[in-house]
């Protein structure tokens, strides 16, 4: 069997028409029908009269290291969903594996999730980041069930895959918590289904191939591949529940949900530009492989009659830049800004860690962070993105002035830390509502990243924040946020945090704001009241900003309030060490790409 490390992404284009055909087929009887109610013991009946079996002290119990045992837990809150298999779960900070002895052939693998907020005090809901493997296939990578459930506005959901099992093989499902600097990421699962299917149902044994993007050769759905279900549509018919399916317990959607008017966003590239053509195909190639809540979705494209058009989901609330500078009537509240930054950080972290090789965006900025109708952040514009298979790739410098990593501009060595620098500029834009470059300001204020670092050095960063935010940010949250942003724009990439560290610390920052809001008084308008002038100082320095990688974090409390102690490798550098060499680059007033 060929060793495939990732799922093969498949996209089909088809027309819908309503055709009524009466066909009577015998019901398929699956020779493998395994249902695991994770975190429970004995057997339990679901509402659809299917019998599920617990994994506690049974042949379904997963294997794991003796010193790092998983726990089982029952959710304390129950919504309008079936208790089986969603009310119990198995959770662990370490790897665990379910081993299924099954017959050879293709199988449906369904993973059921309910990211409840109260399984255990030791497992924080938003720390569920993990990878799921089925033998040599990676089904999910750096996946968060809580993020997806929030985006779907659903308490429970399941993910479905097709995996082929070879002769004399077992089907192993391994759950692996994602590495993190705080070592508090965990994996969990509520229910598992393994259902056999006819061998030629989806896999093409001797069938015709399918057209493949930018390839002259046809694509064949081989048994050496695994696939993920995106949606299943009953064309011309109504929805079908799992128990009404022909023996494979599939869920079918009513095609009426997919008929109607769809508002989309169109991006038309210059057909005469060689760079435009490269960006066009690069974006198609990357977005055909990637799918994440916080990445913009590519619906389709046109490459016909010298036209290059990309079609995306329409983002109702435009770009983050629009909301920061052009929305004069309604400024974004502070906690909503934090949510947007956290979402964008999650999207970038997925680019850096979610594929076999890191993908570096190379053009992170507020115009490339889109906001949907729910204000969910979506990273967009992958025309300059590059997949790298080394820690540092030598490449031509590309990006946007004001956001461009000075180390990358100087050495032409591209790493994930280049995106981190750009995102640090975004964080300061969100805090200050000032553009990354502004030629109308005095020389030392034109470049936002440089000016913010100078203000941190002088202890005046609180004086340049967005006037709308004054009195609305808790001091504890402010200190953490500025520490994160300042660390991102360190001169040396080695001193910057990873996007995973940035994401975790922004989540910590939001928690600090929520905790402060819970205990602080409000004004007659219902708004919390905080000091309008905020200060920031990182302990251990002598007036020079500290670049920290946020390797560990400790919060202390005493009579004077709450503080943050950061234990990290630090580098005290002059603000002008690298940037003066490229001042002409980083103070360009345009927002054109390199």
Instruction: Print the SS3 string covering 104-143.
Output: CEEEEEEEEECCCCCCCCCCCHHHCCEEEEECCEEEEEEE
Find out whether 493 and 417 touch, Cβ atoms under 8 Å.
yes
Please, what's the largest Cα pairwise distance for the chain?
Answer: 81
Find out whether 252 and 33 touch, Cβ atoms under 8 Å.
no
User: Cα–Cα distance between 574 and 579 in angstroms, integer?
Assistant: 10
pLDDT at 394: 76
Q: Which residue has the higher pLDDT, 10 or 389?
A: 389
Residue 547 confidence (pLDDT) above 70 = no
Q: What is the pLDDT of residues 23-45, one digit of tens each?
A: 556 778 889 999 999 999 999 99
Mean pLDDT over 185-212 rounds to 86
Residue 558 confidence (pLDDT) above 50 = no
pLDDT at 581: 30
Residue 86 confidence (pLDDT) above 70 = yes
| Domain 33-202 CATH class label | mainly beta
User: Cα–Cα distance between 379 and 315 in angstroms, integer?
Assistant: 11
pLDDT at 15: 35
Catalytic residues: 363
pLDDT at 583: 31
Give me the residues paired with residue 522 across strands. Answer: 528
Residues ≥6 apart with Cβ < 8 Å to 211? 218, 219
Q: What is the pLDDT of residues 113-157, one digit of tens each?
A: 999 887 877 788 888 999 999 999 999 988 999 989 988 889 999
Residue 326 confidence (pLDDT) above 80 = no
CATH fold of 320-577 reads Transferase(Phosphotransferase); domain 1 (1.10.510)
Residue 569 confidence (pLDDT) above 90 = no
Residue 506 confidence (pLDDT) above 60 = yes
Query: Which residue bears the tokens 């479905």?
Result: 160
Helix (H, G, I), strand (E, B) or coil at 432: helix
Structure tokens at 24: 């009577």
Task: Indicate the pTM of the whole model.
Answer: 0.70
264-313 is classed CATH 3.50.50.60: no
Q: What is the CB-side half-sphere exposure of residue 256 using CA atoms within 13 A?
A: 5
Q: Which residue has the higher pLDDT, 211 or 161?
A: 161
Residue 19's CB is within 10 A of a number of other CB atoms, namely 8
Write down the domain spans for the chain: 33-202, 264-313, 320-577
Find out whether 573 and 492 touch, Cβ atoms under 8 Å.
yes
User: Cα–Cα distance between 223 and 233 in angstroms, integer?
Assistant: 23
Counting residues of the chain whose pLDDT is more than 70, the rounded percentage is 82
Torsion of CA 119, 121, 122, 125, to 10 degrees: 60
pLDDT at 304: 79
Mean pLDDT over 443-469 rounds to 92
Kind of pairing between the strands at 393-394 and 369-371: unpaired
Q: What is the mean pLDDT of the chain?
A: 82
**Environment class of 209 (CB within 10 Å of its CB; exposed 0-12, middle 13-18, buried 19+):** exposed
Torsion of CA 492, 494, 499, 503, to 10 degrees: -90
Instruction: Print the SS3 string covering 385-402.
Output: CEECCCCCEECCCCCECC
Same fold, 264-313 and 320-577: no
Q: Which residue has the higher pLDDT, 291 or 51?
A: 51
41-46 long-range CB contacts below 8 Å, 24 or more apart? Answer: 44/83, 44/84, 44/85, 45/84, 46/82, 46/84, 46/85
């Amino acid at each position: 069997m060929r060793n495939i490390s990732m799922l093969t992404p498949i996209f089909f284009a088809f027309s819908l028409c309503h055709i009524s055909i009466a066909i009577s087929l015998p019901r398929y009887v699956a020779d493998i029908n395994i249902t695991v109610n994770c975190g429970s013991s004995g057997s339990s009946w679901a509402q659809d009269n299917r019998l599920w079996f617990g994994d506690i002290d049974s042949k379904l119990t997963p294997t794991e290291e003796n010193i790092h045992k998983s726990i089982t837990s029952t959710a304390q809150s129950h919504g309008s969903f079936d208790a089986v298999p969603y009310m119990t779960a198995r959770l662990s900070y370490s790897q665990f594996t379910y081993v299924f002895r099954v017959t050879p052939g293709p199988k449906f693998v369904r993973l059921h999730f309910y990211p409840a907020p109260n399984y255990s005090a030791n497992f924080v809901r938003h720390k569920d980041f993990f990878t799921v493997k089925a033998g040599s296939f990676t089904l999910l990578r750096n996946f968060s069930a809580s993020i997806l459930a929030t985006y779907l506005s659903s308490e429970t959901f399941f993910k479905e895959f097709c995996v082929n099992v070879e002769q004399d093989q077992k089907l192993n499902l391994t759950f692996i918590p994602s590495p993190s600097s705080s070592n508090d990421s965990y994996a969990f699962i509520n229910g598992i289904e393994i259902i056999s299917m006819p061998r030629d149902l989806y896999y093409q044994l001797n069938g015709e191939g399918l057209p493949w993007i930018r390839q002259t050769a046809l694509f064949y759905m081989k048994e050496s591949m695994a696939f993920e279900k995106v949606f299943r549509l009953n064309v011309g018919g109504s929805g079908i529940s799992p128990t009404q399916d022909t023996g494979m317990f599939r869920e079918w959607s009513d095609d009426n949900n997919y008929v109607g008017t769809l508002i989309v966003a169109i991006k038309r590239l210059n057909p005469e530009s060689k760079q435009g053509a490269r960006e066009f195909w690069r974006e198609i190639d990357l977005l055909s492989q990637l799918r994440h809540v916080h990445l913009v979705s590519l619906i389709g494209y046109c490459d016909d009659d010298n036209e290059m058009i990309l079609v995306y989901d329409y983002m109702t609330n435009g770009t983050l830049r629009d909301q920061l500078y052009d929305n004069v009537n309604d400024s974004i509240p502070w906690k909503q800004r934090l949510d947007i930054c956290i979402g964008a950080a999650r999207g970038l972290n997925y680019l850096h860690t979610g594929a076999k090789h890191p993908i570096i965006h190379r053009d992170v900025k507020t115009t490339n962070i889109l906001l949907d109708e729910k204000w969910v952040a979506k990273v967009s514009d992958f025309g300059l993105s590059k997949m790298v298979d080394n820690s540092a790739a030598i490449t031509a410098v590309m990006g946007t002035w004001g956001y461009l990593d000075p180390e990358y501009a100087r050495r032409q060595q591209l790493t994930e830390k280049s995106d981190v620098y750009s995102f640090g500029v975004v964080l300061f834009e969100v805090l200050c509502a000032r553009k990354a470059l502004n030629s109308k300001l005095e020389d030392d204020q034109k470049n936002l990243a440089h000016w913010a670092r100078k203000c941190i050095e002088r202890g005046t960063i609180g004086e340049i924040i967005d006037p709308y935010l004054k009195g609305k940010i808790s001091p504890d949250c402010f200190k953490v946020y500025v520490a994160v942003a300042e660390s991102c724009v360190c001169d040396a990439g080695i001193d910057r945090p990873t996007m995973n560290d940035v994401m975790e610390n922004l989540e910590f920052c939001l928690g600090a704001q929520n905790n402060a809001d819970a205990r602080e008084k409000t004004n007659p308008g219902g708004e919390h009241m905080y000091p309008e002038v905020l200060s920031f100082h990182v302990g251990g320095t002598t007036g020079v900003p500290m670049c920290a990688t946020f390797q560990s974090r400790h919060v202390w409390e005493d009579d004077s309030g709450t503080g943050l102690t950061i234990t990290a490798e630090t580098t005290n550098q002059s603000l002008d060490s690298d940037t003066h060499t490229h001042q002409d680059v980083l103070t360009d007033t345009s927002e054109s790409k390199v």
